[in-house]
Chain A
Amino acid sequence: MPFNHKHLLGTQFLSPSDITTVLDTAESMLEISTREIKKVPTLRGKTIINLFFEPSTRTRSSFEMAAKRLSADIINFSKETSSMVKKESLKDTVLNLEAMNTDALIIRHSSSGALHFISTFCKSHIINAGDGAHEHPTQALLDAFTIRQEKKNIEGLRILIVGDILHSRVARSNIFLLKKLGAEVTLAGPPPLVPEEFKKFGVDIDFNLGRALKGADVVMMLRIQLERQQKNLFPSIREYRNLYSLTRKRFRSAKKNAIIMHPGPINRGVEISADLADSAKSLILKQVENGIAVRMAVLYLLLGGKEREITD
Chain B
Amino acid sequence: MKLLIKNGRVIDPASGTDDTLDILIERGKIVDIKTKIDGDGPKIIDASRLVVAPGFIDIHTHLREPGQEDKETIHTGSLAAAKGGFTSVACMPNTTPVNDNRGIIEYILSEAKKSAVVNIFPIGAVTKGQKGEELTDMADMVDAGAVAFSDDGLPIMNNYLMRRTLEYSKLLNILIIDHCEDTNLSSGGVMHEGYYSYLLGLTGIPSFSEEIMVSRDIILAEKTDARIHIAHLSVKGAAELVREAKKKKLKVTAEVTPHHLFLTDASLENFDTNLKVNPPLRTKDDVKALIEAVKNGVVDVFATDHAPHTPDDKEVELDQAPFGINGLETAVSLFLDKLVHKNIISLQKFIEMISTNPALILGFENKGRICIGADADFTILNLRKEIIVDVNRFKSKSRNNPFHGWKLKGAPEMTIVGGKIVYPF
The interface of chain A, by Cβ under 8 A from chain B, is 12, 89-91, 109, 111-114, 116-117, 131-135, 166, 169, 172, 195, 197-198, 200-201
Q: Which segment, of B159-167, B197-205, B225-233, faces chain A? A: B197-205
CA distance A94 to B169 in the complex (A): 51
Q: Give the B interface residue count (CB, 8 A).
A: 17
Contact status B198-A91, CB under 8 Å: no
Instruction: Report the minimum CB–CB distance from A48 to chain B (whole Å).
Output: 22
CA distance A169 to B202 in the complex (A): 11
Q: A197 with B317: in contact, given A112-B200, A113-B271 (CB under 8 Å)? A: no
Nearest chain-A residue to B268 (Cβ)? A113
* A132 / chain B contacts, CB cutoff of 8 Å: 201-202, 319
Contact of A117 among B194, B198, B202, B271 (CB under 8 A): B271
B266 contacts partner chain A, Cβ-Cβ < 8 Å: no
Q: A114 with B317: in contact, given A197-B194, A197-B195 (CB under 8 Å)? A: yes
How would residues 244 to 276 of chain B score, 1 for a CB under 8 Å from any chain A CB and 0 otherwise? 000000000000000000000000001101000
CA distance A172 to B202 in the complex (A): 12
Contact status A116-B316, CB under 8 Å: no
- Give the A-B pair count, Cβ closer than 8 A: 58
* A198 / chain B contacts, CB cutoff of 8 Å: 198
CA distance A262 to B72 in the complex (A): 50
* B315 / chain A contacts, CB cutoff of 8 Å: 89, 91, 117
Contact status B316-A172, CB under 8 Å: no
* B317 / chain A contacts, CB cutoff of 8 Å: 90, 109, 111, 113-114, 117
How would residues 320 to 363 of chain B score, 1 for a CB under 8 Å from any chain A CB and 0 otherwise? 10000000000000000000000000000000000000000000
How would residues 287 to 310 of chain B score, 1 for a CB under 8 Å from any chain A CB and 0 otherwise? 000000000000000000000000
B318 contacts partner chain A, Cβ-Cβ < 8 Å: yes
Q: A111 with B319: in contact, given A116-B271, A132-B201, A133-B201 (CB under 8 Å)? A: yes
- 15 A-B contacts, Cβ less than 8 Å apart? A12-B199, A90-B316, A111-B318, A111-B320, A112-B201, A112-B202, A113-B202, A114-B317, A117-B271, A117-B315, A132-B202, A133-B202, A135-B201, A166-B198, A200-B195
Nearest chain-A residue to B196 (Cβ)? A197
Contact status A116-B270, CB under 8 Å: yes
The interface of chain B, by Cβ under 8 A from chain A, is 194-195, 198-202, 270-271, 273, 312, 315-320
New A-B contacts (12) at CB < 8 Å, excluding given A166-B198, A195-B198: A89-B315, A90-B317, A111-B317, A112-B319, A113-B317, A117-B271, A117-B315, A117-B317, A132-B319, A133-B201, A134-B201, A198-B198
* B320 / chain A contacts, CB cutoff of 8 Å: 111
Instruction: Report the minimum CB–CB distance from B185 to chain A (whole Å).
Output: 12
Nearest chain-B residue to A197 (Cβ)? B198
* B312 / chain A contacts, CB cutoff of 8 Å: 89
* B318 / chain A contacts, CB cutoff of 8 Å: 111-114, 117
CA distance A131 to B201 in the complex (A): 9
CA distance A279 to B198 in the complex (A): 34
Contact status A112-B194, CB under 8 Å: no
Nearest chain-A residue to B194 (Cβ)? A197
- The interface centre, meaning the residue of B194, B273, B312, B317 with most chain A CB atoms within 10 A of its CB, is B317
CA distance A113 to B318 in the complex (A): 7
Contact status B271-A112, CB under 8 Å: yes
* A112 / chain B contacts, CB cutoff of 8 Å: 200-202, 271, 318-319
* A12 / chain B contacts, CB cutoff of 8 Å: 199
CA distance A201 to B271 in the complex (A): 20
Instruction: Report the minimum CB–CB distance from B253 to chain A (whole Å).
Output: 33
Contact of B200 among A90, A134, A197, A200 (CB under 8 A): A134
